[in-house]
Amino acid sequence: MVQEGISGGFYTASNSEVGQAPFFSKFDQNLNQLWQVQIPKLISLSQVWVAAPGIIYATGIGSFGSATRSVILKFIDNLPNSPTLVSINI
């Protein structure tokens, strides 16, 4: 999945190999990777969208305890540093 950023570049969500956490990344308009993070406890990411400059949401599926649940994650883009996960709604 790819989502264009409001201030340029774009965000991607990609699922990894079985047993590995998915990746959330940001690239500039020249395809240079600006940051990449793995999100522990998630099984997959299915969508990413930008709500406002620097505010990014993602949806996915996570494994919490013995339950598998849909989640909505909210991030703040701290470019040039990695994003900050500010909330998880289960």
Summarised one tens digit per residue, pLDDT across range 1-48 is 788 887 788 999 888 777 788 999 999 999 999 999 998 888 899 999
Does residue 57 have a pLDDT over 90?
yes
pLDDT for 80 equals: 86
CA distances from 35 to 3, 17, 80 (A): 15, 20, 8
Could you give the C-alpha distances from 48 to 42, 64, 67, 71, 85, in angstroms and in order? 14, 21, 23, 12, 14
Q: Given this model, what pLDDT does residue 63 score?
A: 86
Mean pLDDT of 41-57: 90
